[in-house]
Structure 1
Amino acid sequence: MKRFRVPLVLFVAVATALAGCGAADKRAEPATRPPDGVSVSLAQWRSDEPVHALQIAVRNTTTTPVYFADVQLVTASFKTLPPQSADATIRRTERTDLPVTYGEANCLPSGLPEVRPATVVARLRTGDEPLRKVVFTVPHPDPLLSRLLRDECSAFLVKQAADLSFGPDWKQDGEVMRGSLVLTRRGTGAVSVASVDGTTHYMVTPGTKRRPLVKLETDAQRAEAPIALSPGRCDPHAFAEAKKAFLFPVRASVDGGEERIVIVEPPKPLQDRLIDYALRVCGLGG
């Protein structure tokens, strides 16, 4: 068998050329450092909460316009969603918001996790430059992400043991609507509900004065607590801006542990009935 010997000089030349190509490729990679004078932070409007959204608040202190093609929130605390279209040219501004939805929280079955660092990844163009990928670092710990993670994972801990929902039967009784909060078994543990709080539009009156309002015992599959709803405000503007009208905070605990807040939202058909009822009671038609 013949062996081909490669001259040492040729080998060194080829290796040097390959190394040079690698260096050239590395130099050709688009920079990920944000443009000078451009930064981001996170914010959330009241209307964002029901749709699991937040705002990428962009600050541009320069006179050079920056075009954002798309943006993406990346953090180990929430499931990462694909980049979302922005299609926005941002000139000098203290704050311009780019809305994005964010993924489900990565919760733990044993307790509340600590919020993890976050970045905002964007494809953008500064002035007449070509599009490039940029990574903005979000100051850590971010207070908004900390709150969103805490709230979602608090509800997760309760929902492991039981589902909380509005019952199917609701009837108007004078000037109130009467129905129930229903607990349905999912996992293990006794689930106690301490209170059902009102929203921006509806007040909640429990049907009993006992505490807890209702308890799903460890050997029970279902439990319910009677509650009554009544309008919290009757001005027409209130019903035009009903962004959080149906996000009812329920304070619940498992096996006597710390109380957690679970947001319970009635199904759409019941929401429509409650709006019609409130309009009638308020004398606004319906």
Structure 2
Amino acid sequence: MRYLRVVAVGGFVLLAAAASLFGAGLRPSPEPSEPPRLSASLEIRRLNPQPDTVALAVTNAGDTEVTVRHVRLVSASLAESAGTEVSVTVPADATRDVFIPVPTAMCGDDIAPATAPATAELRVSSRGVEHAVALPLAHPNGTLDRLVGRDCATALLARTARVEFGDWRSAPSGVLLGELRVIRVGGDLPITLDSVTGNPHYAVTPVTAGPPLGELPPGTAELSVPVEVDANRCDAHALAEAKKPWLFPFRLTVGAWEVPGEVTVSETDQAAMEAMQAVRC
């Protein structure tokens, strides 16, 4: 009987101690938070909030909003990056764009390398809990192909040729006469100047019939093509709205590859065009 009384008293003490602990705030550990149900795609938007950015469209298939805190794109086709700090909230059952810097491509000697699979590594928060999630992007990926191709074309151009204006003089009409020069800076691939265009401020017209406008064979250092530059539009609205008055796109063929670029415009070029515009307008 004494033994039973001791056991009963001991059990009561243990229960009382447990109740006291829980009453003091000790609770069973909560269940681990489930990671958010997210997916992502890489998109090139027509209107980006900042230049040289690309949109990671993040879709939240869950029932709770998620805030994206950090994004890093990982692929064998991209240079390693520390990623980008962001703060974009994606509501439940919705998609939001997270704009990040355009990644740097790993090109080698190929202007259009086949892109490797890519993953978007995200750090997100939901209901006060942070999660690290890895979202595989579609493969093949047309957007990534385009970004890598553009980067590799720019790299090829930088190590092959420079395109610039020169030798300005005025015609009796006030139109500006000059040259568009393709100057070899490296390699010995054949280079063809296919086209050059103007912008809302200035019209550029090659005097040479084309395309092509001219060729730079292996072993030659420079190609010069005569051009005329005239005021394109003179109304105040057009002049005020034009965002890039010094943007003159061109296309080259370097070896077997078509390479787009923009003419390098010096302060001398700008002064000559502005003086011509003042006369012609």
**Residue identity opposite 1:133 in structure 2:** A
Rg larger for: 2
Structure 1 contact 79–102 (Cα < 8 Å) conserved: no
Q: How big is each residue's C-alpha offset from its partner over 1:56-101, in whole Å with a ceiling of 9 and x where there is no partner?
A: 1222244412111121222222223321121222223643222111
1:88 corresponds in structure 2 to 88
Deviation at 1:55, TM superposition (A): 1.1
Structure 2 contact 168–272 (Cα < 8 Å) conserved: no
Q: How big is each residue's C-alpha offset from its partner over 1:29-61, in whole Å with a ceiling of 9 and x where there is no partner?
A: x99x9621x222112234559943211122224
Structure 1 contact 50–244 (Cα < 8 Å) conserved: no
Alpha-carbon distance between aligned partners in 2 of 1:244 and 1:141, rounded to the nearest angstrom: 37
| 1:181 paired to 2:185 | no
1:165 corresponds in structure 2 to 163
Normalising by structure 2, what TM-score? 0.70
Structure 1 contact 202–232 (Cα < 8 Å) conserved: yes
Matched position secondary structure for 2:147: helix
Deviation at 1:181, TM superposition (A): 2.7
Structure 1 contact 78–102 (Cα < 8 Å) conserved: no
Deviation at 1:144, TM superposition (A): 1.2
Matched position secondary structure for 2:264: coil
Moved more, 266-275 or 69-78: 266-275
Deviation at 1:220, TM superposition (A): 2.1
Structure 1: any 5+ residue segments left out of the alignment?
Answer: 1-29
Normalising by structure 1, what TM-score? 0.69
Matched position secondary structure for 2:140: coil
1:253 corresponds in structure 2 to 254
| 1:263 paired to 2:264 | no
| 1:132 paired to 2:131 | yes
Deviation at 1:164, TM superposition (A): 2.7
Structure 1 150/110 Cα, relative in aligned 2: closer, same or farther at 3 Å? closer
1:44 corresponds in structure 2 to 44
Moved more, 106-115 or 231-240: 231-240
Alpha-carbon distance between aligned partners in 2 of 1:49 and 1:176, rounded to the nearest angstrom: 37
Alpha-carbon distance between aligned partners in 2 of 1:278 and 1:72, rounded to the nearest angstrom: 48
Structure 1 44/239 Cα, relative in aligned 2: closer, same or farther at 3 Å? farther
2:117 corresponds in structure 1 to 117
2:36 corresponds in structure 1 to 35
The CA RMSD over aligned residues, in Å, is 3.7
Structure 2 contact 246–270 (Cα < 8 Å) conserved: no
Alpha-carbon distance between aligned partners in 2 of 1:128 and 1:192, rounded to the nearest angstrom: 59
Structure 1 68/206 Cα, relative in aligned 2: closer, same or farther at 3 Å? same
Structure 2: any 5+ residue segments left out of the alignment?
Answer: 1-31
Q: How big is each residue's C-alpha offset from its partner over 1:220-259, in whole Å with a ceiling of 9 and x where there is no partner?
A: 22222223344666673685363697261313232xx35x
Structure 1 176/85 Cα, relative in aligned 2: closer, same or farther at 3 Å? farther
2:56 corresponds in structure 1 to 56
How many equivalent pairs are there? Answer: 247
Structure 1 contact 195–252 (Cα < 8 Å) conserved: no
Q: Percent identity?
A: 24
Deviation at 1:146, TM superposition (A): 1.2
2:19 corresponds in structure 1 to none
Alpha-carbon distance between aligned partners in 1 of 2:194 and 2:273, rounded to the nearest angstrom: 26
Structure 1 68/221 Cα, relative in aligned 2: closer, same or farther at 3 Å? same
Structure 1 contact 40–58 (Cα < 8 Å) conserved: yes
Alpha-carbon distance between aligned partners in 1 of 2:166 and 2:69, rounded to the nearest angstrom: 45
